[in-house]
């Protein structure tokens, strides 16, 4: 059985609703914009959960998870259309799980927190705009 590390990242209900609007294309997220939440694990491992914008205004944003070791990409999920929930990536015999959930009192609540570490973002979503060349 593989060793597993688990982290919970909480986001506010308004942020979750905004991300869902981008995914459903109710609101367009431009291709040079990305919303990223990061969970940190032991040994220099980090997992970014990303909502990525698109060029075509008729398409909704997409999501993915990317695993890094000391800043170098080591694993990536497939393209998804959900942001909330569990993201799992395996690297070097270890499974890294990140659960994105709405902060307590808003909606989703984890039932087993005894062996989980919570990672609260620094207040709001990080929205990055890449420079076009």
Q: Kindly state the average pLDDT of the residues 64-89.
A: 97
**What pLDDT, in 10s, does the model give residues 22-39?**
999 999 999 999 999 999
Q: Is 19 exposed, middle or buried (0-12, 13-18, 19+ CB in 10 A)?
A: buried
Is pLDDT above 90 for 3?
Answer: yes
Supply φ then ψ for residue 60, to 5 degrees.
-85, 160
Spatial distance between the Cα atoms of 126 and 128, rounded to a whole number of angstroms:
6
| Residue 120 binned pLDDT confidence (cut-offs 50, 70, 90) | very low
How much is the pLDDT for 132?
40
Q: Kindly state the average pLDDT of the residues 42-52.
A: 97
What are the C-alpha distances in Å from 31 to residues 15, 21, 37, 83, 128?
A: 19, 15, 18, 17, 11
Long-range CB pairs of 121-128 (<8 Å, 24+ gap) are: 121/9, 121/10, 121/11, 121/37, 124/12, 124/15, 125/11, 125/15, 125/18, 125/19, 125/35, 125/37, 126/35, 126/36, 126/37, 127/33, 127/34, 127/35, 128/33, 128/34, 128/35, 128/36
**What pLDDT, in 10s, does the model give residues 77-95?**
999 999 999 999 999 999 9
What pTM, to 2 d.p., does this model score?
Answer: 0.79
How much is the pLDDT for 16?
96
């Amino acid at each position: 059985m593989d060793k597993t590390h688990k982290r919970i990242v909480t986001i506010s209900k308004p942020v979750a609703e905004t991300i869902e609007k981008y995914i459903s294309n109710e609101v367009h997220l431009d291709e040079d914009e990305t919303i990223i939440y990061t969970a940190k694990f032991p040994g220099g491992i980090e997992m970014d959960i990303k909502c990525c914008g698109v060029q075509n205004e008729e398409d909704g944003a997409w999501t993915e998870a990317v695993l890094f070791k000391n800043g170098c990409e080591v694993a990536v999920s497939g393209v998804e259309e959900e942001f909330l929930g569990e993201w799992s990536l395996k690297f070097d015999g270890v499974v890294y799980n990140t659960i994105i959930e709405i902060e307590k009192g808003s909606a989703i609540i984890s039932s087993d927190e005894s062996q989980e570490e919570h990672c609260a973002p620094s207040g709001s979503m990080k929205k990055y705009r890449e420079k076009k060349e």
